[in-house]
């Protein structure tokens, strides 16, 4: 199979390219090489063995030239991360949603029918919560007054009791709580509509907290693992917000690449569209990650600083069961092994962020 990978020179896209090539597929990478992700230094060395086209996924003419030569598309191109403030909104929407719409239109025009989409766990907002009295509930956004007072756990909207965090399944109702999250959910809606209209097939892989070699560094748009690693390389303590006990599922990028390979050959179950959690199934706290990285790099202990950014959620821990059943995917990298390798893995050159 010949596969077009948008964002193919990026952190996740480059690992997907390596995995697909090792599985015997041919890959064609498309990447805009934006300074916010790549530092403005051109293609990274780790994509030198792949065919790369420098271009924007929003360039419909370019897509119409590239797509007839491929069998499927892995759509990784996106503006990622929590962002800085609402002024990022137009950039998130232009890169993520307009880019996806242009790609889907070009796929329809050229008769391409198989898409694997880089989704995200951020579409859930908060994860799954149980109340001892009211069962499964959806907590509302946390109040700033509670966060300022060090009350971080969401409470039941009916009785006010503290909730118990559980595993969030793909059937959980979406509740995006940041601009980035809203654009990732919109990507799924666009892709789902395209599948129904065209008879195409889509897997949206809802990545949880991905980490590993080639992450961008020294940028507010990077994942928390890169932010902690960058601080340690500067000789600074990782700064952990809230009390550090917020739970996440950290999944190694090699496992994310394996999930993409599986999704290329799996049939979605529901009207051509399927969504699956891509996770390790091994939840840990943010403080766990910071502590493990500090130990692995012989750096200073993490500093727990309290507070939270607008849109931050408390716990998002994934249920890996559906991905195992539908894709045959099971993460292979343990938290301990993955973090130890990440502590010394090469990162992307410092990104350039607009002032």
Q: Does 137 map to a domain? A: no
| Residue 240 placed within a domain | yes
Q: How many residues does the chain have?
A: 355
Q: Which two tokens stand for residue 85?
A: 């403030």
Residue 63: Cβ-neighbour burial (10 angstroms; 0-12, 13-18, 19+): buried
Q: Is 68 within a domain?
A: yes
Closest CA to 216 of 34, 28, 32: 34
- Classify residue 351: in a domain, yes or no: no
Cβ partners under 8 Å of residue 193, min gap 6: none
Q: What is the CATH number of the domain that holds 106?
A: 3.40.50.720
Return d(Cα 187, Cα 195) in angstroms, integer. Answer: 12
Q: For residue 84, count other CB atoms closer than 10 A to its CB.
A: 12
- 192 lies in a domain? yes
Asked, for residue 227, whether it belongs to a domain, the answer is yes
pLDDT along the chain (355 residues), means of 10: 97 97 98 76 85 97 98 95 80 96 98 97 95 93 90 93 94 92 97 96 97 83 85 95 96 98 89 95 95 96 92 92 97 96 85 51
Using DSSP bridges, classify how beta strands 247-248 and 135-137 pair: parallel, antiparallel or unpaired: unpaired
3-state secondary structure of 110: helix
CA distances from 23 to 19, 166, 193, 261 (A): 6, 35, 30, 8
Note the Cα 292 to chain centre separation in Å.
Answer: 21
- d(Cα 126, Cα 247) in Å, to the nearest integer? 11
Partners of residue 135 on adjacent β-strands: 131
Q: Is residue 84 part of a domain?
A: yes
Of the candidates 347, 333, 322, 121, the residue with the CA atom closest to the CA atom of residue 233: 347
In the numeric block, which tokens belong to residue 209?
């907290």
What is the domain extent for residue 37? Answer: 2-127+168-344
Task: For residue 52, give the 3-state DSSP assignment.
Answer: strand
The residues near 180 (Cβ < 8 Å, ≥ 6 apart) are 79, 80, 81, 82, 83, 92, 96, 120, 122
With contact defined as beta carbons under 8 Å apart, do 11 and 222 qualify?
A: no
The torsion of the CA quartet 113, 277, 217, 300, rounded to 10 degrees, works out to: -170
Q: What is the structure's pLDDT at 66?
A: 98
The pTM for the full model equals 0.94
Q: How many domains does the chain have?
A: 1
CB 282, CB 208: distance < 8 Å: no
SS3 assignment, position 183: helix
Q: Residue 312 has what pLDDT?
A: 87
Helix (H) or strand (E) segment spanning residue 216: none
Sign, CA dihedral 210-216-221-223, equals positive
What's residue 83's pLDDT? 66
| Residue 145 forms part of a structural domain | no
pLDDT of residue 355: 41
What pLDDT sits at residue 159? 94
Question: What's phi and psi for 207, nearest 5 deg?
Answer: -65, 140
pLDDT of residue 49: 92
């Amino acid at each position: 199979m010949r596969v077009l990978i948008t964002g193919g020179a990026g952190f996740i896209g480059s690992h997907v390219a390596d995995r697909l090539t090792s599985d015997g597929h041919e890959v064609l990478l498309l990447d805009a090489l934006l300074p916010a992700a790549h530092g403005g230094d051109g293609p990274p060395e780790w994509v030198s063995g792949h065919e790369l086209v420098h271009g924007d996924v929003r360039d419909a003419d370019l897509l119409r030239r590239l797509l007839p030569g491929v069998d499927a598309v892995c759509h990784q191109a996106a503006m990622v991360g929590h962002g800085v403030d609402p002024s990022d909104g137009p950039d998130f929407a232009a890169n993520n949603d307009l880019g996806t719409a242009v790609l889907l239109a070009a796929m329809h025009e050229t008769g391409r029918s198989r898409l694997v989409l880089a989704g995200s766990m951020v579409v859930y907002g908060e994860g799954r919560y149980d109340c001892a009295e009211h069962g499964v509930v959806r907590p509302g956004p946390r109040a700033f007054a509670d966060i300022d007072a060090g009350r971080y756990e969401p409470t039941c909207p009916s009785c006010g009791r503290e909730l118990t965090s559980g595993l969030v399944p793909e059937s959980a109702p979406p509740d995006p709580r940041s601009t980035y999250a809203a654009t990732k959910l919109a990507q799924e809606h666009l892709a789902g509509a395209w599948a129904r209209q065209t008879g195409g097939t889509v897997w949206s892989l809802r990545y949880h907290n991905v980490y590993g070699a080639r992450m961008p560094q020294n940028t507010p748009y990077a994942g928390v693992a890169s932010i902690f690693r960058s601080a340690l390389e500067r000789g600074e303590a990782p700064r952990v917000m809230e009390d550090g006990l917020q739970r996440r599922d950290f999944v190694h990028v090699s496992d994310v690449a394996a999930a993409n390979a599986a999704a290329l050959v799996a049939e979605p179950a529901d009207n051509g569209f399927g969504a699956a959690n891509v996770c390790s199934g091994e939840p840990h706290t943010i403080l766990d990650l910071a502590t493990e990285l500090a130990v692995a790099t012989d750096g200073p202990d993490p500093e727990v600083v309290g507070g939270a950014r607008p849109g931050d959620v408390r716990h998002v821990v994934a249920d890996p069961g559906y991905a195992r059943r539908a894709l045959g995917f099971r993460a292979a990298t343990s938290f301990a092994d993955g973090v130890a390798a990440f502590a010394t893995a090469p990162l992307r050159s410092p990104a350039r962020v607009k002032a």
